[in-house]
């Protein structure tokens, strides 16, 4: 079982939903855990029985309404649901995980947009975690930047907010490009209660592939095949 923790105060729901669908179409059993501040995923999955603690959506499971990861684990144990290949967590609440949960994760990913609000709130979240981990080891983080506009976003600008955080970083940042059709697709998916990937731009799909390659043990051919299968399914 691989556990990936995504953190940062920004709307990364589309990113994680798309990743889960691709992983699921790579013949993997996937669980997406909603520990966001506003519990947004119950709205993203539309009419798919969001009141249930764990519900199936677009080929993977979505868990929400749990105060801690320990509570979710207990629920899965009671329901005899233990055989997920991947667990992706959107964590914006510092009380959801214990220190050992961060250290046991296969990957920790810090996600932020370039707008000042996202940058400041996401950097503050890391600083709060660092204070909690005082005198304890800290995990290293991959970085994902959302809504990147070519020639208008300076990487040094975002790194200026990170210099005081004191976290270790892994690899090069993955930049998810802004696309004028992206927001429209998000709205269509949410209102229809579905998850369609095909209209995404080639640049966005390429960034998704690079992110999965950076985090997983998959080869490029496997990721591309899973992407194509996920595009064909309109659910």
Q: 10 in a domain, yes or no?
A: yes
What range defines the domain where residue 183 resides?
Answer: 2-225
> Helix, strand, coil: what percent of the chain each, to 5?
40, 20, 40
CATH code where residue 66 lies: 3.40.50.300
End-to-end Cα distance, the chain: 25
- Give the burial class of 111: count Cβ atoms within 10 A of its Cβ; 0-12 exposed, 13-18 middle, 19 or more buried: buried
CA distance 80 to 57: 19
Return the number of other C-beta atoms located less than 10 Å from residue 233's C-beta: 16
Domain count for the chain = 1
Q: 84 in a domain, yes or no?
A: yes
Give the DSSP H or E segment for 56: strand 54-57
Q: 233 in a domain, yes or no?
A: no
Q: What is the pLDDT along the chain (235 residues), one digit of tens a residue?
A: 999 999 999 999 999 999 999 999 999 999 999 999 988 898 888 655 556 799 999 999 999 999 999 999 999 998 877 689 999 999 999 999 999 999 999 999 999 887 888 888 888 898 899 889 988 999 999 999 998 877 555 667 677 766 656 788 898 899 998 877 777 888 888 888 889 999 999 999 999 999 999 999 999 999 999 999 999 876 5
Residue 83 phi/psi, 5° resolution?
-105, 40
At residue 226, the 3 state secondary structure works out as helix
pTM: 0.93
Q: 232 in a domain, yes or no?
A: no
């Amino acid at each position: 079982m691989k556990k990936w923790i995504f953190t940062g105060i920004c709307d990364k729901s589309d990113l994680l939903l798309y990743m889960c669908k691709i992983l699921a179409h790579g013949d993997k059993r996937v669980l997406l855990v909603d520990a966001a501040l506003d519990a947004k995923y119950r709205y993203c999955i539309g009419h798919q029985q969001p009141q249930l603690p764990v519900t199936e959506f677009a080929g993977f499971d979505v868990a929400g309404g749990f105060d801690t990861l320990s509570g979710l684990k207990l629920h899965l144990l009671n329901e005899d649901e233990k055989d997920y290949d991947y667990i992706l967590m959107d964590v914006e609440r510092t009380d959801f995980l214990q220190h050992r949960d961060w250290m046991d994760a296969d990957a920790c990913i810090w996600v932020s947009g370039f707008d000042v609000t996202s940058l400041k709130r996401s950097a503050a979240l890391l600083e709060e975690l660092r204070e909690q981990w005082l005198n304890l080891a800290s995990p290293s983080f991959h970085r994902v930047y959302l809504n990147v506009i070519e020639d208008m976003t300076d990487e040094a600008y975002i790194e200026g907010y990170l210099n005081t955080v004191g976290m270790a970083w892994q690899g090069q940042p993955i930049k998810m490009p802004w696309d004028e059709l992206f927001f429209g697709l998000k709205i269509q998916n949410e209102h229809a209660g579905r998850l369609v990937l095909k209209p995404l731009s080639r640049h966005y799909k390429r960034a998704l592939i690079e992110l999965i390659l950076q985090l997983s043990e998959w080869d490029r051919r496997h990721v591309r095949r899973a992407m194509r299968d996920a595009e064909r399914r309109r659910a």
